[in-house]
A and B are shown apart, each in its own frame.
Chain A
Amino acid sequence: MAEPLIYELSSPGRVGVTLPDPDVPSARLPDGFLRQDLPLPELAEVDVVRHFVRLSQLNYGVDVGLYPLGSCTMKYNPKINEDACRLPGFAFTHPLQDPDTAQGNLSLMYHVQEWLKEIGGFAGVSLQPAAGAHGEMTGILIIRAYHQDRGDIKRTKILIPDSAHGTNPASTAMVGLQVVELPSDKRGNVDLDALRAACDETVAGLMLTNPNTLGLFEEHVQEVIQQIHRCGGLVYGDGANMNALLGIVRPGDLGFDLLHYNLHKTFSTPHGGGGPGSGPVGVSEKLVDYLPGPIVAMTDQGTEEEPPAFGLVIPAKSIGRVKAFHGHFGMLVRAYTYMRMQGKSGLRAVSDHAVLNANYLRARLREAYHIPHDRICMHEFVAMGQWEEAPGVHALDIAKRLMDYGFHPPTNYFPLIVREALMIEPTETESKRTLDAFADALLKIAQEARTDPEILKTAPHVTPVGRLDEVRAAKQLVLCCRPAELGEPAS
């Protein structure tokens, strides 16, 4: 049964909220500026609550079951984080209130900066970018500014492996630099010969995801980085796959000049159905002056009696603001809580178990599913969703059939360099029991592909809706509901 739209549940005269009457005299309303009609729905509170509760019941979330989306790190979102960010002393502070009145917030942000620096091996961090892609754009802007500042204006290219996430080339294009794609070699690493051929003094930098989107630690990562440095470029790290590296290796120690972190992946802040995220950027010593500001600095070391004091500063050669105010403070509180509870040993255990879980699933599936790069992986791996014996069955069908088994499918059709890709990342918060159930489901589906392919091609069968007509959605654009049009059937 479909849930009606909020507008369809509306009834004239219903009121959801009571508000006090004005306690001041009425002022004259501005002539010529008043709107006549306000086309918003009218519902009582109980109807609003039921509507959104019923909608939530149509959703699958990490709190419902395994969500093995490669490169998304759908780990368990600790409930204490949700309580932490809602503390009134955090939630009811205004970004522009005097820093002297927000020392708790600034202290929290300062520690998040420091811990991210330590984890990544960087000299400076800005917490301002709102998401990973935002951090990428920030990083490319910093690279550009660095070269411009040195008078090196012919560096217009960014090298990007063909396995990279789409945001990498998109971010580069937004900054106005040219994307040069690098092929991967047979083992899934950046092709060193192609890299050498591409390196010259027009290269501003390289964007590298490590481990890469195949879940593999780049086997020549230091050589790759040195090659770029030799030709005068900088190396940007896409930190989406940081969940494999906590306490294992610091990107800064490998030679990365900058990196963005995804707090909504590695650091447990929830995905929210599409955000909000948070994408802080870490940089090496020579780039700290270019960070977007303001960032938090310790303005007074403090004494035994007095705590240290914190303030907001703009780095000397800052590329400028990348968003209003300071960053996604609500997500920083959650990340702070997580990092504090994990501590040094906990973060190492996170990566250890993320890598253990991924390799275990790989071991369980490798007989039934072709894994193009079948060697020890990091926190994720890519399998092919296709068999010669089951022509006509695609990765999409496997994904849809998994829903009938109660699992969210893995990432489909990415990375682009593996056909019919299924990118699987279990994360560390899944038990062996869950992993076994997931592997069992995938093995059954592999069987079904041979004995009963139709059941895959018409899947899912038990979900609130069946496969949706995306062609229709793109051709007959219905992108919003107008109250005046209600009464017209959807078909």
Chain B
Amino acid sequence: MEFPNDLRYTKTDEWIRVEGNQATLGITDFAQSQLSDIVFVEVRPAAGEKLAKGDAFAAVESVKAASDVYTPVSGKVAQTNEALSEKPETVNSDPYGAAWMLRLELARPEETAELMDAAAYQAYCQERSH
């Protein structure tokens, strides 16, 4: 199980990479392993749309479960990963790389401070695996 150090994490299993004023979002390795074979991904917003912290912006479905994906930060959508609707299985194989879901311009960068770092998130995952 991977927990890249340069990312921050949410309690609902999303990861966020912050580069300057830009943030990239996806779901974690732990999340994809819980869902197992992912068959469908829908990233809803269009470029230019504004999201509030906590908004659900995507849906991920496997054969046995369905999950909403939430943004931990507010901002304006810059780009969405169109390739995921064609190849949803990318979320299983490369959750932190090719399976990025959304890029946005942060409206309030201070929101990222509340998020877990890799060590805290790894501990959180271990807690839940019992």
Contacts and interface: CB of A to CB of B under 8 A. Distances in A.
* A–B contact via C-beta, under 8 angstroms: yes
Interface of A: 470-471, 474-475
Nearest to A475: B39
**Which 6 residue pairs of A and B lie closest in terms of their CB atoms, listed nearest first?**
A474-B39, A471-B37, A470-B63, A475-B39, A474-B63, A471-B63
Nearest to B39: A474
Interface string B38-58: 011000000000000000000
B4 to A, nearest CB: 27
Contacts of A474: 39-40, 61-63
Nearest to A473: B63
B75 interface: no
12 contacts: A470-B63, A471-B37, A471-B39, A471-B63, A474-B39, A474-B40, A474-B61, A474-B62, A474-B63, A475-B39, A475-B40, A475-B88
B9 to A, nearest CB: 24
Nearest to B63: A470
B65 to A, nearest CB: 11
Interface residues of B, number: 7
A209 to B, nearest CB: 23
Nearest to B61: A474
Nearest to A476: B39
B120 to A, nearest CB: 25
A395 to B, nearest CB: 13
A439 B40 CA distance: 40
Nearest to A474: B39
Nearest to B87: A475
A139 to B, nearest CB: 26
A157 B62 CA distance: 30
B10 to A, nearest CB: 21
Contacts of A470: 63
Nearest to A471: B37
A417 to B, nearest CB: 14
A219 B88 CA distance: 47
A259 B40 CA distance: 38
B80 to A, nearest CB: 20
Contacts of A475: 39-40, 88
B77 to A, nearest CB: 26
Interface in B26-40: 37, 39-40
A459 B88 CA distance: 28
A474 B37 CA distance: 10
Nearest to B40: A474
A411 to B, nearest CB: 15
A369 to B, nearest CB: 21
Contacts of A471: 37, 39, 63
A471 B40 CA distance: 10
A474 B88 CA distance: 11
Nearest to B37: A471
A467 to B, nearest CB: 12
A291 B30 CA distance: 47
Interface string B81-94: 00000001000000
B27 to A, nearest CB: 18
Contacts of B40: 474-475
A470 B36 CA distance: 12
B41 to A, nearest CB: 11
A470 B39 CA distance: 10
A471 B63 CA distance: 6
B86 to A, nearest CB: 11
A470 B37 CA distance: 10
A474 B62 CA distance: 8
B20 to A, nearest CB: 37
A475 B88 CA distance: 9
B113 to A, nearest CB: 30
A470 B61 CA distance: 13
B48 to A, nearest CB: 30
A475 B40 CA distance: 7
A374 B58 CA distance: 42
A203 to B, nearest CB: 25
Contacts of B63: 470-471, 474
A272 B40 CA distance: 31
Nearest to A470: B63
A471 B35 CA distance: 12
A474 B39 CA distance: 6
B59 to A, nearest CB: 13
B15 to A, nearest CB: 24
Interface string B62-75: 11000000000000
Interface in B88-120: 88
B1 to A, nearest CB: 18
B92 to A, nearest CB: 11
A151 to B, nearest CB: 33
